[in-house]
Amino acid sequence: MTVKDVCEILKSKNNIEILTHASPDGDTLGCGYALCLALQSMGKNARVIVEKMPQKFKFLTKGVKEQDFQGEFVVSVDIAALSLLGSNAEKYAKIIDLCIDHHGSNSIEIKDKYVVADAAAACEIIYEIIIELGVKITKEIANCLYTGISTDTGCFRFSNTTAQTHRIAADLMEAGCDFEIINKNMFDTKSKARVELEKNLYDTMEYFADGKGAIMCISLDMLEKLNISGDEIEGIENIPRLIEGVLLGITMKEREKNSYKVSVRTNECINASEFCAKFGGGGHIAASGCKINGDYETVKSKLIKAAEEFI
């Protein structure tokens, strides 16, 4: 399929439902609301289907009209597999008509699939579609697309970022997107509970192997005491790796008494997957995990000993 084919289909349809993935992030929601705004501006009925809208993304709905209609055509955005539909699976898994995505691994089996694997964010594809549809990029559309692009690239830092990512960002800046507010809310704001959690985690931080390794632990006690939500733990396992000189960073997360989920993040030439394999786990070169049973001190000693040998 080409972008023109996608646009021909969209132009020919009405009463369109745009499906986002469960635990929605900035990219799937940015796609959803940008496309919805574009379709509504073409005089079509459209809505976005969201499992549960996180507070911090509510601004993306600005300008979207609530329309009363019976859905006739379903477009999925940024959904790599049907297993990611969450509670929407029952109603929508079998009636997706068009799939728009940027995951090379996309496993949704339907005829009309438009997957661009080198797009850093699915929002880059939606940008291309909106331009091809001849719809003006309004400030509201620009805010949606910028949010998807910025969150999926870690604000232009991750390796998926391309020259094209920056060129699209330039156009969105010219359309008046609120890049400063968006980035502040997406990247720079910490909840009070998160600050408290980090303080507690720093208290557990231990270095080993001449500072090339660092380990910290989130205990059940800590989570309970801080009454912390899943959102607020996001990215926490990156903390040890980002300390100067650390090549292998370990985060122990207590799951139940005497049972730990272990997240390993590495820099440069250290293979996290190989390390985790020693404990029956695995994953990617720079990000892997495993599960170890035992009390805190025993598990920690095992990990440090293995890591010292490994580094």
Return all residues near 206 (Cβ < 8 A) that are at least 6 apart. Answer: 214, 215, 216, 300, 304
Q: Determine the Cα–Cα distance for residues 234 and 189; give it in Å rounded to an integer.
A: 13
Residue 194 CB, nearest approach to a copy of itself (Å): 8
Residue 242 CB, nearest approach to a copy of itself (Å): 5
Residue 124 CB, nearest approach to a copy of itself (Å): 13
CB 130 within 8 A of CB 3: no
Distances (CA, A) of 72 to 18, 168, 250: 11, 31, 49
* Pick 14 or 160: Cβ nearer a copy of itself: 160
DSSP 97: -
Residue 52 CB, nearest approach to a copy of itself (Å): 20
| Structural tokens at position 41 | 């501006």
Beta bridge partners, 74, equal 17
| Structural tokens at position 194 | 């998160």
Q: What angle do CA 254, 311, 301 make, to 5 degrees?
A: 35
Q: Determine the Cα–Cα distance for residues 43 and 67; give it in Å rounded to an integer.
A: 11
Q: Tokens 């996309």 — which residue?
A: 106
Q: Determine the Cα–Cα distance for residues 45 and 27; give it in Å rounded to an integer.
A: 22
Residue 276 CB, nearest approach to a copy of itself (Å): 22
Q: Determine the Cα–Cα distance for residues 116 and 1; give it in Å rounded to an integer.
A: 10
* Pick 12 or 55: Cβ nearer a copy of itself: 55
DSSP 35: H
Distance of CA 233 to the CA centre of its chain: 14
CB 303 within 8 A of CB 206: no
CB 151 within 8 A of CB 56: no
* Pick 164 or 271: Cβ nearer a copy of itself: 164
Give the binding site for a copy of itself (CB under 8 A). Answer: 155-159, 161-167, 169-171, 173-174, 179-180, 183-184, 187-192, 195-196, 198-199, 202-203, 205, 207, 211, 242-245
